Structure 1
Amino acid sequence: MFDSTYLSSKFSRRDLCKVAVGSTLSFMLPGFDLKAAQKRGPERQKSVIVLWMGGGPSQLETWDPHPGTAIGGPGNAIKTVVPGLQISDMYPLLAEQLEGMSVIRSMVSKEGDHERGTKYLKTGYRPEPTTVYPALGAIIIHERPNKSLEIPQHISMGNTQYPARGGYLGGYLDAFRVQDPGKNIGNMRAGVGSPRQNRRLENLDIVSQAFQKGRTIQTKKTLHQSTIDRALTMMSSEQLHAFEIEKEPDSVRKAYGDSSFGRGCLVARRLVEQGVHSIEVNLSGWDSHANNFTGHQTQAKMLDPAFSSLLKDLKARDLLDSTIVLCIGEFGRTPKINPLEGRDHWPTGFSCIVGGGGLKGNVIIGETDPTGKEKKPTEPVQIQDLYATILQNLKIDYKKELISPIGRPLALSDGTPIEKLI
């Protein structure tokens, strides 16, 4: 978030209340740089978009098909613009937009439970009772805050049971949640006219000052004042327009698809343009213990247009060189097809797509056994290795140690960067 301590030190609570309605606070913010947000190409400060596939998509029905085999199911594979790369035929639009992206077919995890697997894949650390680890997006904002932003810097869109959290870095780094992106975000604008809103804010000022008397330590711990300051700044900011897609051409909105995920991907592109550096777009519904094949067809109808349009848009606007896009879930699905025409949890040898932001593109890492007999893939990759790669690419020292609330030194990532992607 923006630096609320700066605001508090330079302006009284009453000043903030009066200014917050009907005008922006961008002129108050240190380092506000519109030109930086408008930069394109490699010189632009980098952003990360995570397309989170909640429930665990099948690698065999997405990025690692094995048609014509006992484990392949009824689907087929199609060629892509990346030489030697084939993906499921459910993704014809995406197949044309994968230039510069890479596929890892050998992701491995030791967690086969949804909650534990999600926390591990979102943080790079296996869950443990004594420490709540921060998500990748929280680490990025902690290490590279954008103080010119008046809207949240870490944003999660779409429905998810386990959103990205700030962990031991602090609740202020939790992702700002937008349940239904592209629609009206509730309580973002004042519901009354300026005079009445000003009176309300003045009354809030009185209540807040009374609350803080004798509670200095408590208010600092709960971020009481800074939360109010950030909310007021965001409510009056023109940057909120990044969440509004009504002015986008009909053809663009149609290309992304009229689903929560499709709208979320379009908003993600707009947020990147605004200078937001950490964005998560969720597409749940991949847990296919039954009816795996029809279920994945339904999911593909949302993922294919949205993902392909996002990549196409980022390239057209010269933003892909400064934006890492990662599409991943908490694990994959079993090669074996169960009696319910489903696939079960499979944390060994699943797939993801990653690229942009200066990462090496058109790379295929790892192979899985087309017979399904060999569990281990070639060139296994752990999530901490992928996150170490991303952090290094962002010029963040992934080996940097921070001290947890219980005094334990913890590295941002204990992985090793993937040489093939550097």
Structure 2
Amino acid sequence: MTDQEHSSLCDPQAHFGRRTLLGRTLTGCAMTGRTAGGLMMSSIARSLAMADETGLTDPARPKNVILLWLEGGASQLETFDPHAGTRIGGETNAIQTSVAGLQISDLLPQIAEQMHLCSLVRSVTGKEGDHARAVYNAKTGFRPDPTLRHPSVGSILCHADQRGSDIPRHISILPESSPARGGYLGAAYDAFKIGDPASTVPDITARTDDNRFARRISDLSDVVEKEFRRGRLAKMESMRTLHQSATDSALKMMSSEQLDAFDVSSESKMTRDAFGDTPFGRGCLAASRLIEVGSRCVEVTLSGWDSHVANHSLHRSAAGTLDPALASLLTRLKDRDLLESTLVVCGGEFGRTPKMNAAEGRDHWPHGFSILLAGLGMRRGVVYGSTSPNPKLDPNQPLADIENPVTIEDIHATILTAIGIEPSNEIETPIGRPMKRSEGKPITEILMA
């Protein structure tokens, strides 16, 4: 296998903070990454080099992200890091994968056949054990801050690369209670939310004849919006209300042929069955179709992992939905030559405790769980980090049972690097506060050189 050359230059929307610019200029060439390797250019040099070296400027090969969000916190022991036959292994068995020496849960037999396409991180750690706070941390790469709302990965990607499509570029399918948000980048970068792709996208068909619809739109633009703008601040539309831009986007979407990408019923029964006859399976199929026509980040949510009771039966059910959908998604992206330009990420807000509770369940566990990454910028058939099959579970040393621990922030820095965005870049919030894209360090061991 030949690794695809990878670029991690900064994005054109970045703000070069005084500390960043001065520090990099004075140091000239510095070592970067988790391990020594690769010279860091100055921020100015990186910016000048971007036009030639980053895929973000190549209109024929945009970079995309598909996030499969396992809401509730999937158990690493029942998915990607089984310790079968040990005191913590539970009822799950391990099966061999397409990577020599790598085993995953027997609940994921189809994914096991696709692991040669993936990088697997088994040593992810976080500092949040509450669902809401951990979800925020996992989706933004930052812990909750009462003074600021941070953007999700899809929002960062769409902000860095402004190329558009007729349909939304950032989409959350089956978003439950935590759709991806634009944060301080603004509501324009919030994900467009839809439910089960078995149903049509709501409110996209005019309810009157063409002439009457045209008159209504004219009245909306020439009368209603004109009155709304009276007495407002000059930038109220672009910075706050987004009334006119939302209307324009909706009208463009209503008449676009790209809208057909939401309709998975046009696929053959064989294709639909391969993904699974479930909302999540259809969501993954829709995600591949949407990426193909111009969407840049699609998030698909699968709930059912919060197993405080009956852990194994809950995971058997949820894994039965995940397995065909993820395996078929990887196969389809590869067959359509989209895997090299699309990063697939599969994970949740935390893992589950190694020790079973009295209700045969596993509780929240941010100390050593798994995240799968595949495609754009990732090495294939690689495992990074591990957890102990016989953990001491010392509450004072939660990382003692983990080899090569990484943080949620490191995962975000790795994702941003893979899609061509420099994690340490600073951009300004609306109040002028400089914020880094990520506080983490890329996991160089799983990234293509």
TM-score (norm 2): 0.82
Contact 1:166–1:173 (CA under 8 A) maintained in structure 2: yes
What number of residue pairs does the alignment pair up?
383
What is the aligned counterpart of 2:342 among 323, 327, 330?
A: 323
Contact 1:155–1:175 (CA under 8 A) maintained in structure 2: yes
CA distance in 1, matches of 2:249, 2:231: 23
Alignment partner, residue 87 of structure 1: 104
CA distance in 1, matches of 2:347, 2:162: 25
Report the Cα offset of residue 399 of structure 1.
1.4
Report the Cα offset of residue 318 of structure 1.
1.2
5 Å-filtered alignment, 1:150-299, equals 150-205=166-221, 206-217=223-234, 218-220=236-238, 221-299=240-318
Contact 1:75–1:89 (CA under 8 A) maintained in structure 2: yes
Amino acid at match of 2:203: N
Contact 2:74–2:352 (CA under 8 A) maintained in structure 1: yes
Report the Cα offset of residue 263 of structure 1.
0.5
1:102-135 Cα distance to aligned partner (Å, 9 max, x none)? 1111000000000000000001111111110001
1:13-52 Cα distance to aligned partner (Å, 9 max, x none)? xxxxxxxxxxxxxxxxxxxxxxx9xx99xx6221111100
Contact 1:189–1:236 (CA under 8 A) maintained in structure 2: no
CA distance in 2, matches of 1:191, 1:250: 31
Report the Cα offset of residue 146 of structure 1.
2.0
Alignment partner, residue 361 of structure 1: 380
Contact 2:384–2:446 (CA under 8 A) maintained in structure 1: no
Contact 1:366–1:380 (CA under 8 A) maintained in structure 2: yes
Cα RMSD of the aligned pairs, angstroms, is 1.7
CA distance in 1, matches of 2:420, 2:348: 25
Runs of 5+ in structure 1 lacking a partner?
1-35
CA distance in 1, matches of 2:91, 2:410: 33
1:246 aligned counterpart, secondary structure: helix
1:99 aligned counterpart, secondary structure: helix
CA distance in 2, matches of 1:212, 1:408: 29
5 Å-filtered alignment, 1:302-317, equals 302-317=321-336
Alignment partner, residue 28 of structure 1: none
Report the Cα offset of residue 216 of structure 1.
4.7
1:24-81 Cα distance to aligned partner (Å, 9 max, x none)? xxxxxxxxxxxx9xx99xx622111110000000000000000111110011000110
Contact 1:159–1:284 (CA under 8 A) maintained in structure 2: no
CA distance in 1, matches of 2:264, 2:211: 29
Report the Cα offset of residue 280 of structure 1.
0.5
Q: Which moved more, 1:150-159 or 1:262-271?
A: 150-159
1:281 aligned counterpart, secondary structure: strand
Amino acid at match of 2:110: L
What is the aligned counterpart of 1:414 among 434, 439, 449?
A: 439
Q: Does 2:356 correspond to 1:337?
A: yes
Contact 1:65–1:72 (CA under 8 A) maintained in structure 2: yes
Q: Which moved more, 1:335-344 or 1:158-167?
A: 158-167
Alignment partner, residue 408 of structure 2: 383
Q: Which moved more, 1:64-73 or 1:368-377?
A: 368-377
Alignment partner, residue 54 of structure 1: 71
CA distance in 1, matches of 2:102, 2:284: 24
CA distance in 2, matches of 1:322, 1:116: 31
Contact 1:142–1:173 (CA under 8 A) maintained in structure 2: yes
What is the aligned counterpart of 1:44 among 22, 47, 61?
A: 61
1:195-216 Cα distance to aligned partner (Å, 9 max, x none)? 2211222222322222222325
What is the aligned counterpart of 2:91 among 71, 74, 79?
A: 74
What is the aligned counterpart of 2:147 among 110, 130, 134?
A: 130
1:229 aligned counterpart, secondary structure: helix
CA distance in 2, matches of 1:361, 1:168: 34
Amino acid at match of 2:428: I
Q: Which moved more, 1:338-347 or 1:191-200?
A: 191-200
Q: Does 2:145 correspond to 1:114?
A: no
1:204 aligned counterpart, secondary structure: helix
CA distance in 1, matches of 2:352, 2:196: 28
Identity, % of aligned positions: 50
Amino acid at match of 1:243: F
Q: Does 2:406 correspond to 1:404?
A: no
CA distance in 2, matches of 1:64, 1:247: 37
Alignment partner, residue 8 of structure 1: none
Report the Cα offset of residue 101 of structure 1.
0.2
CA distance in 2, matches of 1:194, 1:104: 53
CA distance in 2, matches of 1:180, 1:381: 34
Amino acid at match of 1:134: P
